[in-house]
Each structure stands twice: as structure tokens, then as C-alpha cells.
Structure 1
Amino acid sequence: MRTFRWSRGERHFPGWYWSATTGRHVGFESWLERDRLLLMDFDPDVVGIGSQPFWLHWHDGGRERRHAPDYFVRRADGSAVVVDVRADERIEPKDAEAFEVTRLVCAQAGWRFERLGIPDAVLLANVRWLSRYRHPRCLHDPAAARLREVFSIPGPLMVGADAAGDRLSTLPVLFHLLWLQVLITEDTTVELLGPGTIVHLARGVAR
């Protein structure tokens, strides 16, 4: 509902992010919105993401107000979430009012509303790294099959990459499988991905 504009001297940083979930570009208006968009794209329960989805109009008793939420998210179970992204310290009274009105309206529509702030730094760094390998072109079926076999038993990331073949060809596939969460680590919020990170096949995934 809003046009993304770029001009010299602006204090915010709009742009387009290619979403693996939708196969299309999704807009953002700040680095924080981009970071949250990245994490939504990584979430396997998210099946659709749209930016600036609608205008919400209301009267605050003194004047007409309007607000465009940042994202509309469709989840795998069919439910919907309307998302606004704003750091805690940047929420002014008028923002708090807009978020509360949005929450009330979403409840009437049967949607959930979330206001998201700054994400966990370690989680974001790990997902940002994996996002470099999110495109389907990184998937090579023979290497993926070998990696699923190797990591059916938990083991260090680099050891498994070497066991599956030449690491120059297996690592991009390994990172793509981690992005898809076919392969997983114990906790991406605790430590940065590295050669010794323990990787294993996700539960329910065939070898």
C-alpha cells in the first residue's frame, strides 16, 4: 500500500530482499525490518510474507490517523500474523497507540498481531550467514543425499562436509540444508556456526 522510495540524505535504509519462502522480492524500510524479514524467511512455519499490506484508518478523538503495518505473514496452519517492527527504545506514544489499534483490529479479524524489536544477535548472525545459501540453486541432490547420510549421526560440521565429498562442493549444499532445517544444530542462539558445530539430521527427515 506504500511505495518504497530511495533518496540521498534519508535516515532510513529501504530496499528489497529476495525471499526463499515466496520466490519474490519483499520490501523493507530499515535494517531492523530487513533483519526481521530474514528471520521470518528462515521460519519453516511461514509460507507467505507481504510488506506494507494495508492502510488502517481510525480517529483518535482529535484527528484522523492511519497506519500501514510492516508485514502480513501467512503461516502453514492457515493462520495470519500482522507484524510491526520497531526497537523498544524508538516507540513513541503515537507509535504505541498505532500498535494497540492494530492489535485490536487484528483480533476482530481473527489475526494475531506482533510488534518485533531487535533480535538475538547470535541467532541473527547465524541466519544471515545461512541466507547466503538460501537459493535453490545451492541444492545438489547427490551431495544432499550424502550429507543426510553422514549427519544421520550427529557430528562436527566440517568433518561431515569432508566425509560427504570435496568441501568446496559440499559446504554450499550443507548450508542450504541448514537453511531448510533439514539439517539442524542444537541451538543457533548460543554460539556462532563454525567448523566444530554439531550438526544432525532433523527429526522425521529420511536419510
Structure 2
Amino acid sequence: MKFHDGVKTRWMWQVQGAPPLHKLAPIRTPRSSSKNRHIPVSAYSHTNSGVLHLESGLEHDLVRKLDRDPDVVLLIAQPFRLEWRTDDSVSHVPDLLTQHTDGSVTVWDARSLEQQDDDFRTKSGVTRHACDRVGWRYRVFTGVSTTERTNLLWLHGFRRRPLWADRFEEEILRMAERDGQTVGSLLGADDGTGENISVVWHLVWTGELRLDMGTQWTLYTPISARSRRSHV
């Protein structure tokens, strides 16, 4: 593992317990090379309020998906190197680690189904077993559909809360709590400035407004508030 002060250390869980995740830094920085088919990506994380250095576009898709999850409070790219011995010394660096509001941890590998060869499946199995032993989850992200990816890319432009959001949020959410609301009915409430529209899409990004991420959105796509609130 590597910490923010640049010091790398061999962490022994059985002796030292759980590592301080808020102090972890990426164990390595992805770089292009003749042997590396991936193209490194620098992606801004709203959750971290900082840049993550990723190894591929698939990892970027995963970050875009996780970055709008209100349950995720921390993302760490290339979080550690797991080492073990067979006949030789073997190691694996997972792609991402997320910490959640309840303190739980998920370790991620991003790998499409067609790129999951025997070597990856072996390393993935060892990583899953190691995570199980310490109470962490392990997931393999294989990608999203073209439609969901397009929707995520669109919402990516509305991550920042508009300065004028206070003037529109309550009314937008009240409208969305009514039955039969659509994208068109919420966007149609705009006064021509585009301010209401930008707040609608920001609320979709945060999850306060719910849309089916797997379908192509039109003005007739149903939309609703995340939860119905009681009003006095």
C-alpha cells in the first residue's frame, strides 16, 4: 500500500488490522506503453473533489456510475497491490476501491467479458477470497450498455449544483411527486432562461429525480422523485 506522504508499506492485516483508507494513495500511476493496450484517463471525481488517474475508458465508465451514488463517500484508484505465492510470486492491483456511508468497502476490477482470460479469472478469484476474509466486497465491472453510457455522459455535464438551484429545487421535486410526470413536463416548466432545465438534470444526476438509465430518454419518458415527502 501507499500513503499520501509517498511512503509504500507492506500491510499485514492480521497484525495491523484495517488500513486507514482516508490516507491511502494509488499504489501506481497508469502510463501508456508498448505493452499496455489501455489508454490512461484522468477523471475528476465529484465525490473526492479531485482527479483520479485511471487505466481505461471502462474504469472511467465505472467512476461515472459510482460518482453519482450517494452511498459512496470515497474512491481510490489502484488502491493496493495484493501479493501471494504459488510456484512464483504473484501480484494483482485492483482498479478501484470505494468506501460507503455505512463504512463498508468494495474493491473493483473493471474488465469486459471478452477480456477476462484465465490469468484474470485466477487473480480475480484470489482477490475475491482475500476481500471475503477481511469483510470487504469484491465486484467485477463488465461495462454498461451503449444507452446507459450515453445517459451517464449526458448527466456528467450537470454534476455541479447550479448557483440558482435553491429557487427551483423544491418546486421541481413537488412536481415530480405527482403521478404521470415526464421529462417533458418538468423541462416545460422552464421560463426560457434554461435555469430550471439545468436544475432538473442536476437532480437526475444526484438521484433526487429518477429516470430509467437503461432506456433512451425522450420528452415522454416517465420521471419521478426519489421518495415522496409529506407536506405540512
Give the TM-score normalised by structure 2.
0.80
Q: Find the aligned partners of 1:95 and 1:67 in 2 and give their Cα distance.
A: 9
Q: Kindly report which structure 2 residues correspond to 1:1-207, keeping only aligned pairs within 5 A, or say none.
A: 1-6=27-32, 11-61=37-87, 63-137=88-162, 140-153=165-178, 154-166=180-192, 168-185=194-211, 187-189=212-214, 191-205=215-229
Q: Find the aligned partners of 2:93 and 2:30 in 1 and give their Cα distance.
A: 13
Q: Find the aligned partners of 1:150 and 1:140 in 2 and give their Cα distance.
A: 15
Deviates more, 1:10-19 or 1:90-99: 10-19
Any gaps of 5 or more consecutive residues in structure 1?
none
Deviates more, 1:149-158 or 1:16-25: 149-158
1:11 Cα deviation from its structure 2 partner: 3.2
Q: Find the aligned partners of 1:60 and 1:41 in 2 and give their Cα distance.
A: 37
What SS does structure 1 have at the residue aligned with 2:194?
helix
The answer on whether the counterparts of 1:143 and 1:164 sit within 8 Å (CA) in structure 2 is: no
Q: Find the aligned partners of 2:108 and 2:78 in 1 and give their Cα distance.
A: 10
Query: Residues 138 and 171 of structure 1: is their aligned pair in 2 closer, same or farther, counting only changes over 3 Å?
Result: farther
1:97-138 CA-to-partner distances (Å, cap 9, x unmatched) read 111111111111110111111223322221221111012346
Q: Which has the higher contact order (CA 8 A, sep 6+)?
A: 1
What SS does structure 1 have at the residue aligned with 2:168?
helix
Q: Letter of the 1:176 partner, please give it.
A: H
Q: Alignment identity in percent?
A: 27
1:50 Cα deviation from its structure 2 partner: 0.7
Q: Find the aligned partners of 2:69 and 2:173 in 1 and give their Cα distance.
A: 21
The count of aligned residue pairs is: 204
CA RMSD of aligned residues (A): 2.2
1:35 Cα deviation from its structure 2 partner: 0.7
More helix by percentage: 1
Q: Find the aligned partners of 1:57 and 1:23 in 2 and give their Cα distance.
A: 31
1:80-100 CA-to-partner distances (Å, cap 9, x unmatched) read 110011111111211111111
Q: Find the aligned partners of 2:42 and 2:229 in 1 and give their Cα distance.
A: 33
Q: Find the aligned partners of 2:190 and 2:112 in 1 and give their Cα distance.
A: 42
